[in-house]
Structure 1
Amino acid sequence: MVNLEWNHFDPIPPLDGTAKGAAEKFYRDLQHAYPEFVADFENKFTAWQARWFDPESPGAVSALQRCELPEYDPLLFLGPKITPLVVHELSKPGNFIATTLYNHLETDPQTQVHPDDILNYLTLTRHANLIVELNYERFQRAQTHLNAWKARCHANRQQQQQQQQTPTQPQGQTPQTQTLAPPPIPLSSPSAQSTTVAHSGILEGLGLDSLVDPDTSCAEYEALVRMGPGIVAQVMLEYNRDRTGPWGKLVHQLICERPLEEGQEKEQGGFLDSVEGQEGRDGSIGGEDPVRKEKRLLRRYEKWRDWFECQEHHEAVGGSTPSYLKNVASWS
């Protein structure tokens, strides 16, 4: 647990070494998986950083005023996907100006230093150190939830395969009892309750609502959604390792702020049009040729990879204003 207590008569506490090392490793992992993403961020950040103490910008005397420089908006519009890269910059001495960029991107109050905490908030070196340490805690929480959700989805696949492959028992023979994964815990959020997924009757045979996607109608998924878009880079690392896995559903929810409705993926905004085509449902609940399904899921990954590496946040959301941009005014 990050210790926010600090007496202003004492020296500024040093950055926790474990948190700093974790920020560096996260950065290297992203650089390995998505080199264009990291290179684009670094180019934009360096251009903004070069203006921090530019004598030709005498009006930019505070961290907030430096966000009014023209080099700032290209960073801001990349969105929360760059959060771990900003955290990595904050782990370096002298980059405390970027605390405002971080606060403009972040929507989770658990990983922010609140302005009412005047001492920690206004002492920018301390502010930056706390952001790095709070993000290390979030990374650990998110990884726990990601592992739990991955296990849940794997159990769902096994359960569905068992249901599909159970042979018809000869007359008079007692069927063997199968051990199935427990049904997912229903979501409580209104947005999740509105999700409708056109699956086959297999779910009904399992005692589940045929309009419910078991991958997203569970407590494990809900816990990740509550963490907000600040974890999307961490999810994209999982997606890179498991490109036909369920991660696209979570990325869509975090970025577009609405569920991905399998079988109805030709969105009005057109972001997934070229991915899903006319091929129908997700296929994870049966009915779709496995080879076709794998190719479609790989195309879905490539679409999200292209967005992650080369596009701004708004290019995936179909014209709506992302929550993080609505949040900027409260930090201005």
Structure 2
Amino acid sequence: MALSQPEWNRLNPAANFPKLVHAQCIKTGAETFDYNCICWFLQLPFNYQGQHFPVQWVDPPVGAAQRDQYLAAARLVPCDYEDFDRVARLYERHPTRYLHGDRWNAASGSWESKMGALVRMLHQESGLSDDGIFESFYGNPSFWCKRAPGAAAASVDPSTMSVEASDDQESIDRIAHVANSLDGSFPRTATAFDTLFATWKSTWFTGRTNSVSQNSEDRASGAAWDALVAYTSRVNVLPQIVQKLSDPANFFAVHLYNAAQSDSSKKVDPRDTFNYYFLKNQVTRIQKLYGASIQEFTTQADEWVAHQANVSLSSNSSDYLNSPAYNRLVEMGTPIVALIMERYARERNGWWHELIHHIVNGRASGSVSFQKTGLFEDWKAQYEISAE
């Protein structure tokens, strides 16, 4: 099937692919961001316990070492351009990043590509390359591959491309409970965050770069991104960010989580290639890490609440803070501010105001008398900052 004129226009060939010829392009797959060209290049039919887990998006490899990790997973080996067994190739526009991968389609005698979130299509061999005057968005083919000895030919439906992963439903449910509770208690914060997030999401596949880029990090830029990051630096909405990741259409939000999460132990290490660059895996790991954070907070918070009950006859405010659990909560720092506010909204007569004051200001308030109703309203006003 030929590409429609709107599909062709979205490729922006004049700016992105000066050698591409409309009449020589045959559509083989619909526009979708469920998988990108690196998925198509790798064709990884991995399963876990008999289930498929969508890859969704694999960021391009950075450098030779990561490239070779990808190839090993896909049972591909490098080969020369002249090798008649070559089945796949990578494009490179600069020496540190491979920007695109396509595969040889033997039936048609041409190369097949998935253009970011746009169509998958057959195209002439040099269709995505520089034309000698104008630069292609992807650069030029620089690395050819063939199947490893003994590896079977890949024949994979992109909708079932998968990597080994395991959803942690307990963590997902825990995150959803906290995020929904925060939204109910602080609706202005929920509205501001959702509005800014939706504005950023609308940029993911617009413009010359994002329309065809395979690199998810390209979406972490621009005015809408800057506004969202500025907001999340002022208002802790980590539960709501991770809740966004429960929607498969929001997987680029891993970059927002990484920008907002200041505790490096709760982020996926970029050196962990298959759990960082394979975005579905990073989503799963983030859910587990943040779910564990909520559980850790809950354990310490419950212990501290029990301590408060034990000293409930005391008139000395410092007695309510004199607890190992309180100290451990303080050590958890600003990443738990949203979790404190969620609990504070439900337990307004407790001592949450002192904990959040200690974390936000670096010390306990030192006050000897408290108007608890007014204190909650003060902290609520600080948490419900508008998007403007």
TM-score when scaled to structure 2? 0.54
What is the match of residue 88 of structure 2? none
- Structure 1 match to 2:358: 253
How many angstroms does 1:154 deviate by?
2.5
Distance 2:350 2:227 in 1: 31
Aligned to 2:224: 71
Aligned to 1:31: 183
Measure the CA separation in 2 of the matches of 1:214 and 1:8.
57
| Percent sequence identity over aligned pairs | 24
Deviation at 1:93, TM superposition (A): 0.5
Deviation at 1:15, TM superposition (A): 2.2
Do residues 305 (structure 1) and 350 (structure 2) align?
no
Letter in 2 for 1:300: L
Query: Higher relative CO (CA 8 A, sep ≥ 6), structure 1 or 2?
Result: 1
Separation in 2, partners of 1:134, 1:128: 10
Tell me, which stretches of 5 or more residues in structure 1 are unaligned? 1-6, 162-202, 204-211, 264-280, 284-292, 313-332
Indicate conservation of the 8 Å contact 2:178/2:342, yes or no. no
* Cα separation, 2, equivalents of 1:311 and 1:217: 35
Equivalent pair of 1:24/1:88 in contact (CA under 8 Å): yes
Question: Could you say what secondary structure the match of 2:220 adopts?
Answer: helix
Q: CA deviation at 1:8?
A: 4.8
Structure that is richer in helix per residue: 1
- Counterpart CA distance in 1 for 2:323 and 2:355 is 12
Deviations 1:88-121 (A, max 9, x none): 0112103221111111111223321112212211
Provide closer, same or farther for how the CA distance between residues 11 and 118 of structure 1 changes in structure 2, counting only shifts above 3 A: closer
Q: Which letter does structure 1 place at the counterpart of 2:228? A: L
Q: 1:65 to 1:11 in 2, by over 3 A?
A: closer
CA contact (8 A) 1:153 1:215 kept: yes
Q: Superposition pairs for residues 65-104 of structure 1, below 5 Å?
A: 65-77=218-230, 78-79=232-233, 81-104=236-259
Report the alpha carbon displacement of residue 57 of structure 1 after superposing the two structures with TM.
5.3
- Higher-Rg structure is 2
Q: Spell out the pairing of 1:224-235 with structure 2 (5 A cutoff).
A: 224-235=329-340
The Cα shift of 1:311 comes to 5.3
Query: How big is the shift at 1:230?
Result: 1.7
Would you say the 8 A contact 1:8–1:119 is kept in 2? no
Change (3 A) 1:310 1:60: farther
Residues 238 and 261 in structure 2, CA contact (< 8 A), matched pair in contact too: yes
Task: Give, as a single letter, the amino acid of the residue that structure 2 aligns with 1:249.
Answer: E
Q: Distance in 1 between matches of 2:327 and 2:175?
A: 25
Aligned partner of 1:181 in structure 2 is: none
1:48 to 194, 200, 210: 200
Q: What is the CA–CA distance in structure 1 between the aligned matches of 2:211 and 2:363, rounded to whole Å?
A: 44
Separation of aligned partners in 2, 1:83 and 1:90? 11
1:262 equivalent in alignment to 2:366: yes
CA deviations 1:120-172 (Å, max 9, x no partner) are: 111111101110111111111110100111121232332x15xxxxxxxxxxx
Distance 2:229 2:358 in 1: 20
Asked whether the 8 Å contact 1:63–1:98 carries over to 2, the reply is no
Paired residues in the alignment total 226
Q: Distance in 1 between matches of 2:212 and 2:286?
A: 23
| 238-247 vs 13-22, greater mean Cα deviation | 13-22
Residue 380 of structure 2: SS of its match in structure 1?
Answer: helix
1:242 aligns with 2:355: no
Q: What secondary structure, in the 3-state scheme, does the structure 2 residue paired with 1:157 have?
A: coil
How many Å separate the matches in 2 of 1:215 and 1:65? 48
- C-alpha distance in 2, partners of 1:60/1:83? 29
CA distance in 1, matches of 2:207, 2:300: 47
1:271 aligned partner: none
Q: In the superposition, relative to structure 1, how do residues 245 and 65 fare at CA in structure 2: closer, same or farther (>3 Å)?
A: same
Distance of aligned partners of 1:129 and 1:71 in 2 relative to their CA distance in 1, 3 Å threshold: same
- Counterparts of 1:1-332 in structure 2, within 5 Å, are 8=73, 11-55=163-207, 58=210, 61=213, 62-77=215-230, 78-79=232-233, 81-158=236-313, 160=314, 213-256=318-361, 258-263=362-367, 281=368, 283=369, 293=370, 296-310=371-385
Distance 1:40 1:145, change over 3 A: same
Instruction: Report the Cα distance in structure 2 between the residues aligned to 1:107 and 1:310, rounded to whole angstroms.
Output: 20
Aligned 8 A contact 1:13 1:126 in 2: yes
Larger relative strand fraction: 2
Relative to structure 1, the CA distance from residue 89 to residue 60 in structure 2 (aligned partners, 3 Å threshold; closer, same or farther) is farther
The Cα RMSD (Å) is 2.4
Q: Distance in 2 between matches of 1:300 and 1:27?
A: 23
1:55 maps to a residue whose letter is: G
